Structure 1
Amino acid sequence: MEPWPAVAWVIITMVIADWMETAHTRDFTENDIIYLHPSTTPYPGGFKCFTCEEAQDNYECNRWAPDLYCPKDARYCYTQHEINLDGNTVSVTKRCVALNDCLSTGCADTDHEGHRVCTACCEGNICNLPLPRNESDAIFATTSPLSSAPRPPASHSLLTLTLTLTLTLLFFRQV
């Protein structure tokens, strides 16, 4: 008897085992995006965002997100993540939004149940894959400067403070 049928069965068993392991994961990864093949955009610079309303978790949101292009006036992808006291997801909402909806990202406690809501925005095709879970994740990430957005006045103060501290440390280090 030839060894090839036995080798074929081993390979088939390995593929099935790998498929079963993949089928049980609950995370939507960047590798899954490969299967979201690009198509012709309805307008120049068209893009897509993951879109869902109050999904039970990030996997369900990303898995069932409709494969539609954002309207022209919506240039960013928005994510709202509601978390309970134990750190578990209560709901996930994702959609295409205009600039005004992205100017107040961050985390806040919302109700007497102790739920926390973190919001984030990003610029780019299906960039809203991950969930914001804390202040460092709940940001507004852009690929280009926001010339029309109001800049916080503290940015110059922060730069001045940083330079002052750096120069002070350099001075005392030489003494």
Structure 2
Amino acid sequence: MEPWPAVAWVLLLTVIADWLKTAQSKDFTEQDIIYLHPSTTPFPGGFKCFTCEEAPDNYECNRWAPDLYCPQESRYCYTRHMMNLEGDSLSVTKRCVALDDCLSTGCSEDHEGNKVCTACCEGNICNLPLPWNETEAVFATTSPLSGTAGLTGSYTLTSVFLTLLISSGVWDTDV
């Protein structure tokens, strides 16, 4: 065999080996997200969230999440993570939500003794990781809540702030 076809085969096998190694990874990276989720939007400010209902773990949720834009009335990405007593994932739910669904983030215990952590974030497919504890189960915004399009009627920055303080237990209402 001539040297040139042999070099071509070696290069081809190297590319295939690298592809197989990448394809077998069990975690997503930001580069995967950029590749899988193009940036054209159907309306100004359009964004996407990973979306799944009661997936067995984060990988299965993110892997099969539909590539759809959130409705215009949504502003945030929501994640609900349920774990057993050993800390293993039991279910993962992710979706697009409005502000009201993000006012009670944190961790709690359900009636079966499972730990349930919820988190919200603002931004295009920002709900990649799972909340595993109180430190990660937060409402993370990139813009001030007073500028949020979903704040109308009786919602003001002050009422949202007070609601967050009361729900987190920082402010005792029995005083």
TM-score tier after normalising by the smaller chain length:
0.7 to 0.9
1:28/1:58 contact within 8 Å kept: no
Structure 2 residue aligned with 1:91: 91
Q: Which of 161, 169, 172 is the equivalent residue of 1:151?
A: 161
Instruction: Give 2:85's aligned amino acid.
Output: L
Q: Quick one: structure 1 residues 37 and 93, their matched pair in 2 at CA, closer, same or farther if it must change by over 3 Å?
A: closer
After the TM superposition, list the runs of 4 or more consecutive aligned residues in structure 1 that deviate by more than 4 angstroms: none
Structure 2 residue aligned with 1:172: none
How far apart are residue 18 of structure 1 and its match?
1.7
Structure 1 residue aligned with 2:141: 142
CA distance in 2, matches of 1:3, 1:139: 59
Deviations along 1:89-110, one digit per CA (max 9) or x if unpaired, are: 1111000000010011111111
Structure 2 residue aligned with 1:27: 27
Q: Quick one: structure 1 residues 111 and 4, their matched pair in 2 at CA, closer, same or farther if it must change by over 3 Å?
A: farther
Structure 1 residue aligned with 2:101: 101
2:37/2:67 contact within 8 Å kept: no
Root-mean-square deviation over aligned CA pairs: 2.0
TM-score w.r.t. the length of structure 1 is: 0.80
Q: Quick one: structure 1 residues 3 and 138, their matched pair in 2 at CA, closer, same or farther if it must change by over 3 Å?
A: same
Identity %: 73
Structure 2 alignment gaps of length 5 or more: 147-155, 171-175
Structure 2 residue aligned with 1:13: 13
Alignment size in residue pairs: 154
Instruction: Give 2:52's aligned amino acid.
Output: C
Structure 2 residue aligned with 1:165: none
Q: Quick one: structure 1 residues 92 and 37, their matched pair in 2 at CA, closer, same or farther if it must change by over 3 Å?
A: closer
Structure 1 residue aligned with 2:41: 41
TM-score w.r.t. the length of structure 2 is: 0.80
Instruction: Give 1:43's aligned amino acid.
Output: F
